[in-house]
Chains A and B, each alone.
Chain A
Amino acid sequence: MATEGATQEKITAYLATRIIPEARNIKLTNWIQTAVGWSHETYVFDASWTANGGAHQRGFCVRKDPGTGLLRELSSLEDQYKVLKALEKTSAPTPKGYWYEPDTSILGGPFLGMEKIAGEATNPWSRVGKQYYAEAAKRGKLPRSFVEALASLHNLDWRAAGLEFIGVPGPGKDFALREIAKWEGLIAQSGRKPEPVLTELLMWLKANAPVAPRLALVHGAYRTGNLMIKDDEVSAIIDWELQVIGDPMYDVAYVLSDLNREGSPLLSCVIERDLFVDYYQQLTGLEINFDACRYYQVLYMMRTAAFWLSASGLFADGRSKDLRLARTTYSVPVVLDMAAKMLGF
């Protein structure tokens, strides 16, 4: 792992030679390496420089593939960059993409640069976070903004935005089956021994896959913590790692899921269920299919188990020394228990 100073020097040199070659005296300030996230190293900072006789400043966020991050087989930084570029032209609140750099010799892995967005992505799992979202919920503006940002994704014309490159499922059950196959692949890669509860879950999911009557851009992890918030409004949807073209009920199910509220009575710790359902249906014109949502919630539990298996596998075979990954070995039975209960056993 490079030291903070060395990383700052390399990024300064990169900006000077590749991104803003006209700049002189580039200085980085307000440097933060965010502690959140499992897949990438993320640095947020302001750059100031002089050029053409004037002073300039711009905020940047740089995400780097550390080489051993979770989901790296499922989520390329290049795709993330292309998604951000495609979304710039839409009404969806997202950061602007600045560059994608595949050269691993610069920072030790590919990286992308994007706009630093004003606001905070407060972690909803902490006591402070829960309190922050509960208070924002009482004020009323953020819950509506939460739904409006989701609706902006589901309402956008993804073909016109040029998002077909992320893969378009075929008709019928193809979306759910593709999603299952994706996560089944991660389980296989984890190198962990076969887990019979997870096998039953996978077989049930394949046997009961719902038809997706409409396709939309689906974020894949739409919840508080993955949204930048400023002045009680969603300033940007972030963490574009799991996006797919798919059934919009997949995102709706994630919002409705108990997985994302950990004891809070509010969905995603921020919005009353009735308000979410009514306002979402009003903004999108879609009727929420609660049967499909229940199915996708089981799929999310499988996905979470796959994620934890992958995480603990990385730690168990020495590819990562991150103790957070070790802890996830104990999370697998807990999420499988939730899924088993949803399936009635």
Chain B
Amino acid sequence: MIPVKQLLNEVIASLRNVIAPAVADPYPKAQAYMTAVILEFIARQVDERTDIAEAKATELGALYEQLTRLAGMDRIVGGEPPSEAALCGLIERLYGERDRLGEKNFAAANHLIRTTLRHLLDQELKITGKSEA
């Protein structure tokens, strides 16, 4: 997701530079400009939710720990600290080495990864309002 302050700044720019100037009627035009002003204040008030980032970091740490215990996974896990970007590379390496690992080991690692992906997705869904939790 786009970081909240970056998103707010772009929405403000859109309101101020595109939407408000295109509105002919003075009342909605003033409302559009005022929305941009209020969003600037809000941008200074809000912070990114830390609970989601923390929950994701915990999930990723636990996954990496579990993966290193599986046979043949050392090279695939690599030395990078756990992160979502690092996990992308790990997933690609896992599929790339599927034949070497054998189907049983691949499936075990893939199951752990998918379980974590589910939890990461559930964190994101807290923002979209589609969470089942």
Verify that A and B bind, or say they do not.
Answer: yes
Binding site for B on A (CB under 8 A): 1, 193-197, 199-200, 203, 206-207, 312, 315-316, 318, 321-323, 326, 329-334, 336-337, 340, 343-345
Mostly, the A contact residues are helix
Instruction: Write the nearest CB–CB distance from B64 to chain A, whole angstroms.
Output: 12
Instruction: Write the nearest CB–CB distance from B110 to chain A, whole angstroms.
Output: 8
Q: Is the CB of A203 within 8 A of B95?
A: yes
Residues on the A chain within 8 Å of B91, using CB: 196, 199-200, 203
Interface residues on chain B, number (Cβ under 8 Å) = 33
Bound complex: CA of A195 vs CA of B120, how far in Å? 10
Judged by a CB distance under 8 angstroms, whether B13 is at the interface is: yes
Instruction: Write the nearest CB–CB distance from A103 to chain B, whole angstroms.
Output: 26
Contact partner, A333, options B11, B85, B88, B125, Cβ 8 Å: B125
Judged by a CB distance under 8 angstroms, whether B113 is at the interface is: yes
Bound complex: CA of A312 vs CA of B10, how far in Å? 11
Q: Is the CB of A196 within 8 A of B88?
A: yes
Bound complex: CA of A119 vs CA of B31, how far in Å? 37
Known: A199-B88, A323-B11, A337-B125. A207 touches B115 (CB 8 A): no
Q: Name the CB-closest residue of A to B84.
A: A196
Bound complex: CA of A321 vs CA of B125, how far in Å? 25
Q: Name the CB-closest residue of B to A199.
A: B88
Residues on the A chain within 8 Å of B118, using CB: 340, 345
Known: A203-B92, A207-B95. A337 touches B11 (CB 8 A): no
Q: Can you sample 9 A-B contacts with CB below 8 Å? A: A194-B88, A195-B84, A196-B84, A197-B117, A200-B113, A321-B14, A326-B7, A326-B11, A345-B115
Bound complex: CA of A316 vs CA of B7, how far in Å? 6
Judged by a CB distance under 8 angstroms, whether B1 is at the interface is: yes
- 0/1 string, B1-14, CB within 8 A of A gives 1: 11000110011011
Q: Name the CB-closest residue of A to B129.
A: A330
Known: A193-B85, A196-B88, A316-B6. A345 touches B95 (CB 8 A): no
Q: Is the CB of A196 within 8 A of B10?
A: no
Known: A321-B17, A326-B11. A337 touches B95 (CB 8 A): no
Judged by a CB distance under 8 angstroms, whether B45 is at the interface is: no
Residues on the A chain within 8 Å of B115, using CB: 345
Contact partner, B14, options A195, A323, A329, Cβ 8 Å: A323
Instruction: Write the nearest CB–CB distance from B125 to chain A, whole angstroms.
Output: 5
Judged by a CB distance under 8 angstroms, whether B133 is at the interface is: no
Judged by a CB distance under 8 angstroms, whether B43 is at the interface is: no
Residues on the A chain within 8 Å of B120, using CB: 196-197
Residues on the A chain within 8 Å of B94, using CB: 203
